[in-house]
A and B are shown apart, each in its own frame.
Chain A
Amino acid sequence: MFVLDTITHRLKRGCETMSFPDGPPPALPDRHGGTLKVDATLCADGCTACVPVCPTEAVTRPCGKPVSLDLGRCIFCAACVGACPTRAITQTGDHRAAVRRRDDLVLGAPGAEEARLADALDTKLRRLFGRSLRLRQVSAGGCAACEADTNVLGTIGWDLSRFGIQFVASPRHADGLLITGPVTNNMEIALRKTYDAVPGPKIVIAVGACAIAGGPFVGHPEVRNGADALLPVDLYIPGCPPHPLTILDGLLRLLDRLEKK
């Protein structure tokens, strides 16, 4: 009997895949807060309240200069938001945070209040990967959270394969790497070999604070403080871990699969 039961239940549940990106994105949890924004003009003179509360030293304010927040290092604990007396650092509620260049994650300078969101790949690469992108995931010291929230994109709710994006078992079948973790010394050889095994042209995506800058482990002698110490990175997706929606947004942005608004 169970086969019939299973099919009936399955039919009753219907399609469980979200309508995004055709429809609106699913709501972030209300306490998530989204990404951060820095308006350094609001900083009080000489105020450094946000600096010592940051666990990863992502916030700095050198003497006489405006405050600077590096979203690549940030684990989005929002301690700086709570510490700021003038609301110079605020949460935007926006899930979008992926960028193409490392510098685009550094906030605070005039005109750089928010992350400069990623542009699409160039025409040639878009023609190659735009409708079919195969990625090999490498965890290089990742704690299993970035891995889990990347994996979740393959479940029925997100259904990443509807965009032609898939994770493959071999680097030989891949168009690029998606790297998590701060890149431990002990994973350096394996990461290099995996990268070398991917046929060109190829792309590299760094997911999470660890893979971008070392995250909570920045500065440890056992880690390399992120993927770009070894490899050229084409897309940085910040977070600890980034929400699946943030990762999906980054991938679709890279492939130019989001409707221009």
Chain B
Amino acid sequence: MSAPFALLSNASSLPWEEVPRLPVDGFVKATAEELGRNARLCSLFAMPDGTGTCLVAVLAFDADNTLAVGRSAAFSGGYPSLTARHPQAHLFEREIREQHGLVPEGHPWLKPVRKGGGGAPLNGEFFRVDGSEIHEVAVGPVHAGIIEPGHFRFQCAGEEVLHLEIALGYQHRGVEEALGDGPHRATRCQMETVSGDATTAHATAYATVLESLAGTEAPLRAQWLRAVALELERLANHTGDMGALAGDVAFLPTASACGKIRGDFLNLTAMICGNRFGRGLVVPGGCGHDLEPGRTARLRDGLAAALADVEQAGAWFWDAASVRARFEGTGTVFPAQAAEIGMVGPAARASGLVRDVRYDHPSGWFRFAQLPVAVWPSGDVFARARVRSLEIQRSGEFLLEQLASPADGPVREDLPEPAPDTLAVALVEGWRGEVCHVAVTGGSGRFRRYKITDPSFHNWTGLALALRGTAISDFPICNKSFNLSYCGFDL
């Protein structure tokens, strides 16, 4: 029997015929075995195949810097659930059931992900804890702040949260559905708004997929500029999160300062492309704007000033015992839990997991310029704040270095047509973690299936686990310490 998975590296493609195909039982078994050998599930999805539907899995072997992809033969009806053995598959299997009607037999909690009976996602049973002292708290979808909608259902004994269930789907805009037979005219701007505060990460993943389907890559200077924009995005969002965390523990100096400094970082992105969120910067084939020397110098000056400000604002906050005391031991996700549910990004690194796409699966400019991975072992709000703080420092140093030594050459080249009957995978370490885009083209080179996995898809369960045994009044601070995307999850 041939190997159940084909190996490939990040940002590369493979003829669809060369993706190994197993009967579905064997496919699930082989996937479970690889997950048991420390592989990580980047994406698992289904797509129509002939008269039936097939499953496709993308796995990551982080220590080997390798990805693996496999698929099942077409089938219909049910298949043995992977979730019972590997909880990191639980949302993927729920999603597959919702999108394609394939039933993972033995899945312990087979609810819809984004849709419900009557169109609203709330139409489903919530897990309930029974007992005379137990009460239930329902929050959302409309929340108190200026924030996206989602529903949180807490089971509490007094102040203590025994269980939190998170019901999303309110933001579902039909992103993947619209990609069939794509790319279309609006596709690039839809990719930029999959999760609007991670525009560069998703736009880079999309551009990389199209480039590897075309058998080429973006010019070096474009790869350099994409890396600059990605780290600016990380700086802006991490700074905003530090401010929000400070605000939630009533430490106002850092809260006020970070709110403004975040804007300074966004304005640096706008200096490159005119838009504070990087819209129009990353395009398939390269970048939509260039950074001429005078502009680079201005960017560097602005960056140095903003970095000094954020360093100062962070120092106020880390020096304050009252802040540290509020953060320590709050909302802990233990390393074993984080690994089991497949967490990614800063939240995973704050639970001691060394996983960072820029380091494990470097593509683009990160093959030539590296950043140290920021890890903290304690898994609590403190750790998630600390990892952000470290990443601000390291991204800042990286950017100052990179801006001093730009790559030469053009910033954009014409992109050949995508290859027919090909699968391409791109992972990008966005500020929330691993953004995974997978495309499969049909005979005409158009998309047969395009699968987007936002880091939030892996991490929402982490927030639910963080709340167990925590006071319900700590929910805001736990939520902000993750700061996950609703629309990136809902698509």
Using CB atoms and an 8 Å cutoff, list the residues of chain A in contact with chain B: 2, 5-6, 9-10, 13, 16, 29-33, 52, 54-57, 75-77, 136-152, 154-157, 167, 169-171, 181-182, 184-187, 189-190, 194, 210, 215-218, 220-223, 240-241, 243-244
Residues of B within 8 A of A33 (CB): 274
> What is the CA–CA distance of A243 and B195 in the complex, to the nearest angstrom?
18
Are B173 and A217 in contact, with the CB atoms below 8 A?
yes
- A-side contacts of B1, CB under 8 Å: none
The reply to whether B174 and A190 form a contact with Cβ atoms under 8 Å apart is no
16 contacts between A and B (CB under 8 A): A10-B253, A32-B274, A55-B185, A56-B189, A141-B172, A147-B148, A154-B259, A156-B259, A157-B260, A170-B144, A184-B172, A186-B169, A189-B120, A190-B149, A222-B173, A240-B279
CB neighbours of A220 from chain B (8 A): 173-174, 177-178
The interface residues of chain A lying within 8 Å CB-to-CB of B276 are: 29, 149, 241, 243
Within 8 A of A (CB), among B161-213: 169-175, 177-178, 185-186, 188-190, 192-197, 199
Nearest 3 pairs of A and B residues by beta carbon: A143-B196, A31-B274, A145-B196
Specify the chain B residue showing the minimal Cβ separation from A32: B274
Closest chain-A Cβ to B399's Cβ sits at a distance in Å of 18
Question: When A29-B267, A141-B487, A145-B199 are in contact, do A152 and B259 touch as well, CB less than 8 Å?
Answer: yes
- A243-B277 Cα distance, complex, nearest whole Å: 10
Q: How far, in whole Å, are A34 and B486 apart by their CA atoms in the complex?
A: 30
The reply to whether A194 and B142 form a contact with Cβ atoms under 8 Å apart is yes
- Chain A residues, CB < 8 A from B186: 55-56, 216-218
Cα–Cα, bound, A5→B313 (Å): 11
Inside 8 A of A10's CB, which chain B residues have their CB? 253
Separation in Å of the A110 CB from the closest CB of chain B? 29
Within 8 A of A (CB), among B298-343: 312, 316, 319-320
Would you call B147 an interface residue if the criterion is a C-beta within 8 Å of the partner chain's C-beta atoms? yes
List the A side residues contacting B172 at CB < 8 Å: 141, 184-186, 222
Q: Which residues of B contact A (CB under 8 A)?
A: 114-115, 119-121, 141-142, 144-149, 169-175, 177-178, 185-186, 188-190, 192-197, 199, 240, 253, 256-257, 259-260, 262-263, 267, 270-277, 279-280, 289, 312, 316, 319-320, 485-487, 490
Q: How far is the CA of A181 from the CA of B58 in the complex (A)?
A: 31
> Which A residues touch B280, using CB under 8 A?
77
Q: What residues of chain A lie closer than 8 Å to B257, measured between beta carbons?
A: 13, 156
* Residues in A whose Cβ lies below 8 Å from that of B144: 169-170
Question: Known: A145-B199, A215-B193, A222-B172. Is A29-B270 also a contact (CB below 8 A)?
Answer: yes
B188 (CB) vs chain A CBs: closest residue: A55
**Min CB gap A47→B, angstroms:** 19
Partner of B114, one of A148, A152, A186: A186
Q: Tell me whether B195 and A144 are in contact (CB under 8 A).
A: yes
Min CB distance A182 to B, Å, is 6
Whose C-beta in chain B lies nearest to the C-beta of A193? Answer: B142
Other A-B pairs, 14, CB within 8 Å; known A57-B185, A147-B146: A5-B316, A30-B271, A31-B274, A32-B270, A55-B188, A141-B487, A142-B196, A148-B240, A151-B146, A155-B262, A157-B260, A216-B192, A217-B193, A240-B279
Which B residues are CB-close (under 8 A) to A171? 142
Contact residues in A for B193 (Cβ distance below 8 Å): 143, 145, 210, 215-217, 240
Q: Decide if A167 touches B146 in the complex (CB within 8 Å).
A: yes
CB nearest to B144 among chain A residues: A169
Q: Which of B145, B149, B190 contacts A169 (CB 8 A)?
A: B145
A137's nearest neighbour on chain B, judged by CB, is B146
Task: Determine the chain A residues whose CB is within 8 A of the CB of B277 once the complex forms.
Answer: 145, 148, 241
Asked, given contacts A2-B319, A155-B256, A241-B196, whether A147 binds B173 with beta carbons under 8 Å apart, the answer is no
Known A155-B260, A181-B171: A143·B275 in contact at CB below 8 Å: no
Q: Whose C-beta in chain A lies nearest to the C-beta of B491? A: A222
B388 to chain A, nearest CB (A): 17
A77 to B195, CA, bound (A): 18
Q: How far is the CA of A150 from the CA of B146 in the complex (A)?
A: 8
Q: Establish whether residues B149 and A55, one from each chain, have CB atoms under 8 Å apart when the complex forms.
A: no
Q: Which of B145, B189, B195 is within 8 Å of A55, CB to CB? A: B189
Q: Are B174 and A217 in contact (CB under 8 A)?
A: yes
Instruction: For the complex, give the distance between the alpha carbons of A222 and B170 in Å.
Output: 10
A77 touches B279 (CB 8 A): yes
Tell me, in angstroms, the Cα distance from A33 to B280 when the chains sit together. 13
CB neighbours (8 Å) of B240 from chain A are 148
B141→A187 contact, CB < 8 A: yes
Task: Note all chain B residues with C-beta closer than 8 A to A148.
Answer: 196-197, 240, 277
Which residues of A are found within 8 Å of B146, using beta-carbon distances? 137, 139, 147, 150-151, 167
Q: Which of A5, A16, A186, A223 has the most B CB atoms < 10 Å from its CB?
A: A186
For the complex, give the distance between the alpha carbons of A210 and B277 in Å: 16
In this complex, which of B174, B175, B193, B485 has the most chain A Cβ atoms within 10 angstroms of its Cβ?
B193
Name which residue of chain B comes closest to A29, CB basis: B270
Please, how many angstroms separate the alpha-carbon atoms of A184 and B312 in the complex?
41
With A29-B267, A56-B186, A137-B146 as given contacts, are A145 and B173 in contact (CB-CB < 8 Å)?
A: no
Q: How close is A145's CB to chain B, nearest CB, in angstroms?
A: 3
Chain A CB count within 10 A is highest, among B173, B272, B276, for B173
Residues of chain A lying within 8 A (CB to CB) of residue B173? 141, 182, 184, 217, 220, 222-223
Question: How far apart sit A144 and B267, CA to CA, in the bound complex (Å)?
Answer: 17
Would you call A184 and B120 a contact (CB within 8 A)? no
Known contacts A75-B189, A140-B149; decide if A187 and B174 are in contact (CB<8 Å).
no
Q: Taking each of B146, B188, B262, which has the highest tally of chain A beta carbons within 10 Å of its own beta carbon?
A: B146
CB < 8 Å neighbour of A144 from B121, B148, B263: B148
- CB atoms of A186 and B121 under 8 A apart: yes
| Bound-complex Cα distance A77 to B141 (A) | 32
Q: Could you tell me the distance in whole angstroms from the C-beta of A186 to the nearest C-beta in chain B?
A: 5
Cβ-defined contact, A6 with B142, below 8 A: no
- B320 cross-chain contacts in A, Cβ below 8 A: 2
Q: Report whether B170 and A186 are in contact in the complex, using a CB–CB cutoff of 8 Å.
A: yes
- Partner of A6 from the list B199, B273, B316 (CB cut-off 8 Å) is B316
Residues of A within 8 A of B487 (CB): 141-144
Set of chain B residues within 8 Å of A30, measured between Cβ atoms:
271, 274
Instruction: Tell me, in angstroms, the Cα distance from A155 to B194 when the chains sit together.
Output: 26
